Amino acid sequence: MTDPSVADSKHVRSDAVPAAFAGPDTRPAPSNLDESDFVTVREDQDLRRGLHQRHIGLIAIAGAIGTGLFLGLGGSIQTAGPLGALLGYATVGLIVCAVQFALGEVTALLPVTGSFVRHAEVLVDPALGFAIGYNLVYGNCLSIPTEITAICVLFQYWTDLNSSLWIMVFIVLTVIVGLSFIGIYGEVEFWFALLKIVFIIFLILLGLVIDLGGVPGTSRIGFRYWNNPGPFVEYIASGSWGRFLAYWAVMSNAVFSFAGVESIAMAAAETRNPRVAVPNACKRVFVRVATFYILAVLIVGMLVPSDDPRLDDESGTAAQSPFVIAASAAGLRGVPSVVNGIVITSAWSSSNQALLSGTRVLYGLALKKQAPAIFLRTTPWGAPYVCVLFFSAFMFLSFMSLSDGALTVFWWLVDLTACGVLISWITVLLNHWRLIRAMKKQGLSLSRLPWHSKFTEYSTPAALVICVVILFTAGFPVFTTGNWSASSFVSSYLDIPLVITAYVAWKVYKRTSIVDLSEIPLEEALERAVGDVELEKEHPLWRRLVGILWD
């Protein structure tokens, strides 16, 4: 069942990774690596490598632009004001840049499917890999119905048809893509990513035109709403403390908006020349964040006042989207529907990405005998169909939106998902921090890494501390007077005890230990990496400039 391209390409051979990840070709892996030496060989046999450079580059952008930006931004502006929301998204944007750089450095050295889950096994503790693996399975089980619920919210803007119709349609479409050849998924995400790029650029330009009075019959807005009602909104408390709490309150929304960027390396072993392709996509994230998110948040803050009652529309439809509000106010009747349609495709694209990430992690867990062997079954074209069917069952959680406000369910799932995303980011940063420490302890120069930036030696520990603080304070409103909510508390913090329980349980069951920095097989990994990098082709200047935004 092995893809012929596997045999022909030196960049996807099973010996292109350390012994801890490779098949039984050189030496047995240490006992505390939990049989992960079996993974790559089986993946080469069962899975197909259908992702190319253009796929992985666009998937990175597809992961960075999701429904959180479109549905969550209005609530952030209302909670923190235009400047508070801008600072909140900028803070999380810098964290995302640190996470992507850390992920790129580790993946360039260890390009394996499962990404930071398997990195954690070798760099930190096999029990952590087990816990984070199931955390990702759990998180993606929730992410998919979150996106489908968002689709229901968006369709309510157009029609009163029962939401169950749209739920079933998009469940079927998502399952079809999940069961298809990986190359088909790559093509779907490629074109949806292009659509997202064109759309967000269109919204930014349209917002500037509206703000500067370029639409006939509308006056120039400028920074009017920054003066009245003001750049900040007080939240819970008053004065400077209240403005700070408002800024901090948008963190969960911002984290959810960026959810998915860490999944770029999940299919590293299913990507040609991953030591170059994955870091290339990771290192461009800063420009993408600055262009697509920060500008979008800035423009929306200029177009819609934070006290606009439409941002708190209780109908729970896309009418409360700040982009729709701004276009409607300018008399552009067709724009709201275009916005709605594009965001629906964005939501479906995000659900496809969550399904790919979740199925690959679950398949990897089954390979290591940490999940039932039935999840190893694949189609003749390499799709892990039992894993897909497992996630399909959880898609029906989106029917919860029929018995309650769809937007209420959406926000429950946002909180649950944001907590899991933060834990994943913490793992990525911890892996990289351990790699840097291990390199120094073993007397290895950091310049020997296939890809390294001096910036990451400082950004990783700083981002790690901030992520931990956000994780434990994201649900702070429930602890203030008169704001207790059992559902909010559970959705904000449920994931933390789940991960700790999984970690402790596997640690006790397998008697694993934290890997000693001196025992991590870095020398062998570095030697293998030297001969396993295909140099990039020299492209014209115009193409390199365009490649800053997409590959």
Considering only residues 495 and 21, tell me which one the structure prediction assigns the higher pLDDT: 495
Instruction: Give domain status of residue 309, yes or no.
Output: yes
CB-based contact 395:174 (threshold 8 Å): yes
Q: What is the pLDDT of residue 507?
A: 93
Task: Report d(CA 468, CA 475) in Å as an integer.
Answer: 13
Q: Over the stretch 325-368, which tens digit does the pLDDT of each residue have?
A: 877 777 777 777 777 787 788 778 878 888 888 888 888 788 77
pLDDT bracket for residue 141 (50, 70, 90): confident
CB within 8 Å of 108: residues ≥ 6 apart? 275, 276, 278, 279, 449, 450, 451, 529
Considering only residues 536 and 474, tell me which one the structure prediction assigns the higher pLDDT: 474
Q: Over the stretch 480-534, which tens digit does the pLDDT of each residue have?
A: 888 888 877 887 888 899 999 999 999 999 998 999 999 888 888 888 777 655 5
**CA distances (Å), origin 38, targets 41, 394, 450:** 6, 29, 24
Task: Report d(CA 106, CA 256) in Å as an integer.
Answer: 24
Q: Is the model's pLDDT at 3 over the cut of 50?
A: no
Instruction: Give domain status of residue 546, yes or no.
Output: no
Task: Report d(CA 70, CA 53) in Å as an integer.
Answer: 28
Q: Chain centroid to CA 185: how far? A: 17
Task: Report d(CA 97, CA 82) in Å as an integer.
Answer: 22
> Distance between terminal CA atoms of the chain?
30
CA dihedral 131, 133, 137, 142 (to 10 degrees): 60
The 8-class DSSP code of residue 481 comes to T
- Mean pLDDT throughout 544-550? 54
Q: What is the pLDDT of residue 11?
A: 36
Instruction: Give domain status of residue 540, yes or no.
Output: no
CA dihedral 428, 92, 460, 420 (to 10 degrees): -20
pLDDT bracket for residue 260 (50, 70, 90): confident
pLDDT bracket for residue 35 (50, 70, 90): very low
Q: Over the stretch 261-295, which tens digit does the pLDDT of each residue have?
A: 777 666 555 566 666 767 777 777 667 766 778 88
Burial class (CB in 10 A: 0-12, 13-18, 19+), 516: exposed
C-alpha dihedral sign at 35, 40, 45, 49? positive
Q: Chain centroid to CA 179: how far? A: 21
CB within 8 Å of 152: residues ≥ 6 apart? 163, 166, 167, 398, 401, 406
CATH number at residue 341: 1.20.1740.10
Q: What is the pLDDT of residue 253?
A: 73
Instruction: Give domain status of residue 96, yes or no.
Output: yes
Q: What is the pLDDT of residue 547?
A: 57
Average pLDDT, the chain: 78
Q: Chain centroid to CA 135: how far? A: 14
Task: Report d(CA 227, CA 221) in Å as an integer.
Answer: 11
Domain total of the chain: 1
Six-digit token string for 108:
């360039």
Task: Report d(CA 343, CA 89) in Å as an integer.
Answer: 19
CB-based contact 496:473 (threshold 8 Å): no
Q: What is the pLDDT of residue 41?
A: 55
**CA distances (Å), origin 532, targets 30, 432, 512, 528:** 24, 21, 31, 6
The length of the chain in residues reads 551
Q: What is the pLDDT of residue 14?
A: 36
What's the domain range around 116?
A: 36-509
CB-based contact 474:419 (threshold 8 Å): yes
Six-digit token string for 169:
């349609």
Instruction: Give domain status of residue 534, yes or no.
Output: no
Instruction: Give domain status of residue 551, yes or no.
Output: no
Instruction: Give domain status of residue 389, yes or no.
Output: yes
- How many C-beta atoms surround the C-beta of residue 378 within 10 A? 18
CB within 8 Å of 91: residues ≥ 6 apart? 251, 254, 466
Instruction: Give domain status of residue 286, yes or no.
Output: yes
> Residue holding tokens 């087990």?
130
Task: Report d(CA 505, CA 497) in Å as an integer.
Answer: 12
Among 98, 135, 159, 213, CA closest to 453: 98
Among the listed ranges 59-63, 133-137, 221-225, 443-447, which one has the minimum average pLDDT value? 59-63
Q: Over the stretch 85-117, which tens digit does the pLDDT of each residue have?
A: 999 999 988 998 899 889 888 988 887 767 888
- Mean pLDDT throughout 176-195? 81
Residues forming beta bridges with residue 51, ordered by sequence position? 271
